[in-house]
Chains A and B, each alone.
Chain A
Amino acid sequence: MNTFYLQLKKSPLAIIGLSILLLWIFAALFGPSLVSYTYTEMDMHNQLVSPGEQGHLLGTDALGRDVFSRIIYGSRTILTVALLTSLLSSFAGIIIGFIAGYFGGLVDTFFLRIMDILMAIPPLVLSMVVLGILGNSTILSLTIIVSIAYTPATARVARGALLTCKNTEYVDAARIRGESNIFIMFVEILPNTIGPVIVEITARFAYSIMMIASLGFLGVGLQPPTPDWGMMVIENKSIIRSAPWTVVYPSLAIASLVIAISLFSDFLSKVMINEN
């Protein structure tokens, strides 16, 4: 753990990424109690005011809702869904990838082909179609469907990580003392693949944010009036020329969060994978 801090100190990009990420996490946790408006509150006399005027830090949209407050509330939903998605897809991916890789042969072929079929459809298209059919998206349905769409990718990473450890002598040593397959997979192999797995979870976190924002933009994400960054962008697309702040700030929010996580994830992959 000490080397982790030492490495972090030497890497300014990772510090920037981590600080932005922590800032957004702070916003999601405490922001709603700090901002002066709720996400549905409409200031009817002050529609489309520019940033900084009338007490609206980032201006208001066509309905007179405070853009800053909506972004802060939006961070809550997007971080929740993205975190759940990355954890759930990694969890499912590790289990499927480990079972496929560990048993090999027909089991491996069976799972890999299913994953290939899922992978053949781009995750965005898959989620869009399923969410479109289901209608009203909720946090739950969004989480589950995006997780399923991302499971094949994580399963492949997990399988690859397992294969590098599977034929080592300490695994043979475990088998020779009669250890069960589950024990070998999750007590012997998993801790030794934790580097790639953690990197995969953080990278997946960034992808999930992009995905959720895209789905919101395409109108199949969370339904109004839930504040959703992607949806804020599309709602105000028609007035981008007259009131650019309504589009630019939510877009910046998406970009900053994704870039921050990516920077941090790059750093993690450097530290955690090279460590072994």
Chain B
Amino acid sequence: MSNTKPLLEVKNLKMHFPIEEGILIKRQVGAIRAVDGISFTVNSGETLGIVGESGCGKSTTARAIAQLYTPTDGEVLFEGKDLVTMSSKELLKTRKNIQMIFQDPYASLDSRMTVRTIIAEPLEIYSRTGIMKMTTEEIEQRVEELMERVGLSRFYKNRYPHEFSGGQRQRIGIARALALNPKIILADEPVSALDVSIQSQILNLLSDLQKEMGLTYIFIAHDLAVIEYISTRVAVMYLGKIVEISESKALYKNPLHPYTQALLSAAPIPDPLIERKRQRIILTGDVPSPDVERYGCYFYDRCPKKMDHCKTHIPPMEQIDENHQVACWLHVDKAKWPV
């Protein structure tokens, strides 16, 4: 897999939201650094899980990749082409390969549209713009096919979203994302709003679809168990930075970054015997505000293993082995430390 070209490559992606002051003439007085320079690659057919606590920039990352936000800096290369600098016409053509599943199945479906319209709309816009030629019957057929594929009866076609349960609505959202036959799906906490029993159904559906259609996922969640179940590789985010990125099993077995260790130690284990012996690493303090520029390690304030060096130097991404990278000075050879 390592010698093939990655499907998606994110280079030094930054998403800063300006804080403005002034009534008529706005001047920028600061910025919320929601995503502050992250890089990773996603290979075709794999699932990259992104995990982290609330406000660490997981969703912003997905939205910046999808070009819902224009990134402040950095590149998002899809099959080698940069989405950020692409013309809007080219972007429209590329976009059909990158679709998104949203977190809230209640907010993500337009309540005034029928299921048919919701699923058909992506097909219709691409027919309108002439990128994909489809007749009305073909669209109709495709909608029914998609509905059955995600486990909804095609007889529900003319119903409105409010007539469905949360899990069914998320299935509609998945059908909509699949409509254009995308290569990569950005799933932004797709199961966090659902009941646990429904979560597993949706997760199984997603992994079945992946096997069948060769899909690639970027899967965002704050639930470690969900991420472990679905991901081939996992990236851990903290305060707009990726602190550790690794092959899934290796990360769960051998977390290297102090933040990852704390995060994993917080996850309950469903075996009471082991659970009783579980040692928790309790972090002190809160996540600092992302509105100041940082010159040291982003985790410095709360790190149980901090050193003086961490305060003034941002740790680089260090390659531990082929599939494991971590951004922590503990794992950088002291000889290589900058003075």
| Chain A residues within 8 Å of B, Cβ to Cβ | 109, 168-170, 172-179, 183, 188, 191-192, 194, 276
Per a CB cutoff under 8 Å, which of A170, A176, A177, A194 touches B110?
A170
The segment from B97-105, B229-237, B299-307 found at the interface with A is: B97-105
A194: B residues at CB distance < 8 A: 112
What 18 additional pairs, Cβ within 8 angstroms, besides A169-B104, A188-B110?
A169-B108, A170-B110, A172-B100, A172-B102, A172-B108, A173-B100, A173-B108, A173-B176, A175-B68, A177-B95, A177-B125, A177-B180, A178-B96, A178-B125, A178-B126, A179-B121, A191-B112, A276-B111
SS of A interface (majority): helix
CA distance A95 to B287 in the complex (A): 43
Which B residues touch A109, using CB under 8 A?
Answer: 24
Q: Is the CB of B92 within 8 A of A178?
A: yes
A172 CB to closest chain B CB (Å) equals 6
In the complex, 17 of the A-B residue pairs with CB atoms within 8 angstroms, ordered by the A residue number, are: A168-B108, A169-B102, A169-B108, A170-B110, A172-B68, A172-B100, A172-B102, A173-B173, A173-B176, A175-B68, A176-B95, A177-B122, A177-B125, A179-B125, A191-B112, A192-B110, A192-B111
Which residues on B sit within 8 Å (CB–CB) of A176? Answer: 66, 68, 95, 98-100
* Closest chain A residue to B95, Cβ basis: A178
Q: What distance in Å separates the Cβ of A108 from its nearest Cβ neighbour in chain B?
A: 11
- Say yes or no: is B109 at the interface (Cβ < 8 Å to chain A): yes
Q: Which residue of A lies closest to B122 (CB)?
A: A177
Contacts of A178 in B (CB 8 A): 91-92, 95-96, 125-126, 129
Q: How far is the CB of A4 from chain B (nearest CB, A)?
A: 16
Question: Are B103 and A169 interface neighbours, CB within 8 A?
Answer: yes
State the Cβ distance, A193 to closest chain B Cβ, in Å: 10
Chain A residues whose CB sits within 8 angstroms of the CB of B173 once the complex forms: 173
Please tell me the number of chain B residues within 8 Å of chain A, measured between CB atoms.
28
- Chain B residues 33-73 with CB under 8 Å of chain A are 63, 66, 68
Contacts of A168 in B (CB 8 A): 107-108
Please give the distance in Å from B45's CB to the nearest CB on chain A.
22
Measured CB to CB, the nearest residue on chain B to A113 is B24
Q: Is the CB of B68 within 8 A of A177?
A: no
A39, B92: Cα distance in complex, Å: 63
Q: Tell me which of B63, B95, B96 contacts A172 (CB under 8 A).
A: B63
Looking at B68, B96, B103, B110, the one whose CB has the most chain A CB atoms below 10 A away is B110
- In the complex formed, the residue of B with least CB distance to A189 is B110
Please name all residues of chain A whose beta carbon is closer than 8 Å to the beta carbon of B108 when the two chains form the complex: 168-170, 172-173
> Which residue of chain A lies nearest to B25 when distances are taken between CB atoms in the complex?
A109
Q: How far is the CA of A168 from the CA of B112 in the complex (A)?
A: 14
Question: B121: which A residues are within 8 A, CB to CB?
Answer: 174, 177, 179
Q: Which residue of chain B has its CB nearest to the CB of A168?
A: B107
Max chain B C-beta neighbours (<10 A), residue from A170, A172, A174, A183:
A170
Q: Can you name the residue of chain B whose Cβ is closest to the Cβ of A105? A: B26
> Residues of B contacting A188 with CB < 8 Å?
110
Select from chain B the residue with minimum beta-carbon distance to A169.
B108
Which 7 pairs of residues, A with B, have the shortest CB-CB distance? A169-B108, A191-B112, A169-B102, A177-B122, A178-B92, A170-B110, A169-B107
What is the CA–CA distance of A194 and B95 in the complex, to the nearest angstrom?
A: 30
